[in-house]
Structure 1
Amino acid sequence: MIKVNDIHKSFGEAHVLKGISTSFEAGKTSLIIGQSGAGKTVFLKCLLGLHVPEKGTIEYNGKINTEMDIEEKRDFRQELGMVFQGSALFDSLNVEENVIFPLKMFTKKTKEEMLDRANFVLKRVNLENSNKKLPAELSGGMQKRVAIARAIVMNPKYLFCDEPNSGLDPSTSILIDNLIKEITEEYEITTVINTHDMNSVMEIGDKIVFLKNGLKAWEGSSKEIFKTDNKDVVDFVYSSNLFKKVRQAYLNE
């Protein structure tokens, strides 16, 4: 579990995060949504430890990142998995080498052990027999699955995804959503996703945190978001006619 307690983050005179408190549970997919400039990316980077809040704390299963010593921080980093918006695969490395990269960086496993682990996670994301392919030979959806395999190869406790469906067609986006949710539940990972994809919100949002102007303006589940009368959420989520109709149908049940 991750507990966020009244965090503030500024860059110069720009006060980006203004006292956000929330929590994210293990085995659940939690989504961060909001308009551009709301503070979503800065919030995610704070959760990752890439930004340090000036005020407030972030607890990971009771441990506060800023209070960890060097050895504890090294161990903690091995518990984090990250799926970047553009997959961020190494173009010169094949699929197998991309997935093994974190194991080479952070473990003392033998080459055989690393290969066994890579094959295991590649099978889990339905990419058997793709080991020797280069990223350029893969579709966008396959690249994203390689990125997910690399993110879970260290068996992380926490998984962070930045716009995992960016650039993907609707059907592939659904496959990626379902894969992330399945892995989250299967391995009891605390998963936090930064997204603009409202289909993801409706389909896999065990918890949704809506940010506006650096503040937590609303939080709830995908079911609760259908019923909310929070004007900011309604205006943001239900801006399209399709989602307006879905919401109205839900309210009429």
Structure 2
Amino acid sequence: MIKVKDLRKSFDDLEVLKGVNTEFIKGKTNLIIGQSGSGKTVLLKCLLGLFTPDSGTIEYNDRAYHDLSKDEKRELSKQMGMVFQGGALFDSMTVEENVMFPLKMLTKMSKQDMKSRVEEVLNRVNLIDTNDKFPSEISGGMQKRVSIARAIVNKPTFLFCDEPNSGLDPRTASVIDNLIQEITYEYDITTVINTHDMNSVFEIGENILYLEDGVNAWQGNKDNIYKTDNKKVTDFVYASNLFQKVRIAQKEGL
């Protein structure tokens, strides 16, 4: 679990996070949604340790980040897996080499054990016989699965995903959503997903944080987001055709 308490972050005179208070639950898919400029990306980078908050605390399994020593922070970073928006695969490396990269950087595993672990996670994300292919030789959806395999190869405690469905067609995006949710359950990890995809919200939104202007304006799940009377939330999501269909179905008792 990750607990965020009164988190604030400014850049020069611009205050982006204005006292965020929330929890990201272990074993569930936690989504961060909100308009551009709401603070989603800044919050995610604070959670990753890429930005240092001006004030407030972030606790990882009840341990405050600012209380950790340098060595403890380094160990915590090893427990984090990251799926980047664009995949961020190394074009000059094969699929196997891309997935193996964190193991080479962060562990002292033997080459044989690394290859075995890579094979295990590639099988888990349904990528067979792709080890020797380069990213340019596989589809966008397959590249995202390679990125997920790389993020979980080191058996993380925390998994962060930044717009994992960006650039994917709806069917492939749904496959990626379900894969991330399945992995969250199987590894019993704390997964945090920064997304603008409303299909993801209604499909895997078990714990949803809605940010607006740097504060958490609403928190709930996929089952009650369409029932909320919070106008800020409904104004944000009502533009989604999927949201409108859900609203109509609920009113008609379907």
Query: Which TM-score tier does this pair reach, normalised by the shorter chain?
Result: over 0.9
Aligned-residue sequence identity (percent) comes to: 63
Give CA-to-partner distance per residue, 1:110-146, whole Å, 9 cap, x none: 0001000000000000002110000000100000000
TM-score (norm. length: structure 1): 0.98
Offset, 1:66: 1.8
* 1:47 alignment partner in structure 2: 47
- Name the counterpart of 1:98: 98
SS in 1 for 2:22: strand
Task: Provide the alpha-carbon RMSD of the alignment.
Answer: 0.9
Q: Distance between the aligned counterparts of 1:194 and 1:232, measured in 2? A: 18
Q: Map residues 165-176 of structure 1 onto 2, 5 A cutoff.
A: 165-176=165-176
Residue segments in structure 1 that go unaligned for 5+ positions in a row: none
Instruction: Quote the Cα distance in structure 1 between the aligned partners of 2:159 and 2:242.
Output: 31
| SS of equivalent to 2:128 | coil
Q: Aligned partners of 1:110 and 1:8: how far apart in 2? A: 43
TM-score by length of 2: 0.98
Q: What is aligned with 2:177?
A: 177
CA distance in 1, matches of 2:177, 2:238: 20
2:147 corresponding residue in structure 1: 147
Alpha-carbon contact 1:165-1:176 (below 8 Å) kept: yes
Q: In 2, distance between residues paired with 1:241 and 1:213?
A: 24
Q: What is the CA deviation profile of residues 73-123 of structure 1, one whole-angstrom value per residue up to 9, with x for unaligned ones?
A: 111111000000000000000000000000000100000010000000000
Cα–Cα, structure 1 residues 242 and 155, in superposed 2: closer, same or farther, change >3 Å? closer
Q: Are residues 211 and 193 of structure 1, via their aligned partners in 2, closer, same or farther at CA, if it must alter by over 3 Å?
A: same
Structure 1: distance between partners of 2:52 and 2:120: 35
Q: Which position in structure 1 is the counterpart of 2:207?
A: 207
* Amino acid corresponding to residue 82 of structure 1 in structure 2: M
CA contact (8 A) 2:31 2:208 kept: yes
Partner SS for 2:132: coil
Corresponding position of 2:159? 159
1-side partners of 2:151 and 2:241: how far apart?
A: 36
Say if 1:242 and 1:147 are closer, same or farther in 2 by CA, change over 3 A.
closer
Contact 1:40 1:211 in 2 (8 A): yes
Paired amino acid for 1:16 = V
Deviations 1:150-180 (A, max 9, x none): 0000000000000000000000000000000
| Residue equivalent to 2:133 | 133
List runs of 5+ in structure 2 lacking aligned partners. none
Asked if the contact 1:227/1:251 (under 8 Å) is kept, the reply is no
68-77 or 187-196: which moved more?
68-77
1:239 CA drift (Å): 1.1
- Sort the Cα spacing of 1:19 and 1:251 in 2 relative to 1 into closer, same or farther, 3 A: farther
CA shift, 1:206, in A, is 0.4
* Preserved CA contact (<8 Å) 1:31 1:207: yes
Instruction: Give 3-state SS (helix, strand or coil) of 1:30's partner.
Output: strand
Moved over 3 A (4+): none
SS in 1 for 2:224: helix
Structure-2 residue corresponding to 1:77? 77
Q: CA deviation at 1:251?
A: 3.8
Residue 30 of structure 2 contacts residue 206 of structure 2 at CA under 8 Å; is this kept in 1? yes
Alpha-carbon distance in 2 for matches of 1:97, 1:250: 48
Determine the structure 2 residue equivalent to 1:239: 239
Following superposition, the deviation at residue 241 of structure 1 comes to 4.2
**Does the aligned pair in 1 maintain the 2:199–2:242 contact within 8 Å?**
no
Q: Is residue 198–residue 240 contact of structure 2 (8 Å, CA) maintained in 1?
A: no
CA displacement, residues 14-69 of structure 1 (integer Å, 9 cap, x when unaligned): 00000000001111001000000000000000111111111100000011112211
Distance in 1 of aligned mates of 2:48 and 2:213: 21
